[in-house]
């Protein structure tokens, strides 16, 4: 068998070091053309005691499906872990919370605000929190305190004829 690709990741979480090694290899099948992926997981605590250990050998075609199943299963399990990791995703958290905004989304946000939609309506449409919408409105020039309005032009940026 020949290794054709290899990735290694090591991270430290507090006093524990986790290591994941992934190697793609060819061969092993009857025709010698099968491609397999080996995933090795390890982890050691502060006194070098093992906290994670395992190996998976996966047909390369099954990797995307198995990755989804493993991820979903581990996240669900972590969600029932009495909150020990502190980074659980709330079940009612909006789907796009924390994701970047595009120019198109900014333009739509501005248009909806100027059309008179409420923060709550816009938050539902964008699948974000009302606080996230209020925080984004000034970035597109809208006044989050006055529905349907732009921010006023600060006096320092007004033309001479506009003062007064």
The domain locations on the chain are 2-69, 103-140
Give CA–CA dist 120/118, Å, rounded: 5
The DSSP H or E segment spanning 4 is: strand 2-13
Top-confidence residue, 25 or 164 = 25
pLDDT at site 89: 52
**For residue 75, is pLDDT > 50?**
yes
Average pLDDT over residues 122-145: 94
Mean pLDDT of the chain: 84
pLDDT at site 34: 76
0.75 cut: is pTM over it? no
pLDDT at site 27: 67
**Hey, what CATH class is 2-69 in?**
mainly beta
**Is the distance from CB of 34 to CB of 42 less than 8 angstroms?**
no
């Amino acid at each position: 068998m020949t290794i054709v690709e290899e990735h290694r990741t090591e991270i430290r979480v507090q006093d524990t070091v986790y290591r994941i090694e992934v190697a793609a290899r060819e061969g092993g099948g009857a025709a010698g053309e099968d491609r397999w992926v080996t995933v090795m997981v390890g982890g050691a605590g502060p006194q070098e005691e093992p906290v994670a250990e395992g190996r998976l050998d996966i047909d390369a075609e099954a990797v995307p499906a198995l990755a989804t199943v493993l991820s979903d299963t581990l996240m669900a399990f972590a969600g029932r872990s009495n909150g020990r990791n502190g980074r659980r995703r709330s079940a009612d958290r909006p789907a796009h919370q924390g994701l970047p905004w595009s120019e198109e989304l900014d333009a739509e946000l501005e248009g909806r605000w100027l059309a008179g939609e409420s923060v709550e309506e816009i938050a539902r449409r964008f699948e974000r929190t009302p606080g996230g919408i209020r925080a984004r409105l000034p970035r597109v020039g809208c006044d989050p305190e006055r529905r349907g309005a732009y921010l006023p032009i600060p006096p320092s940026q007004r033309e001479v004829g506009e003062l007064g």
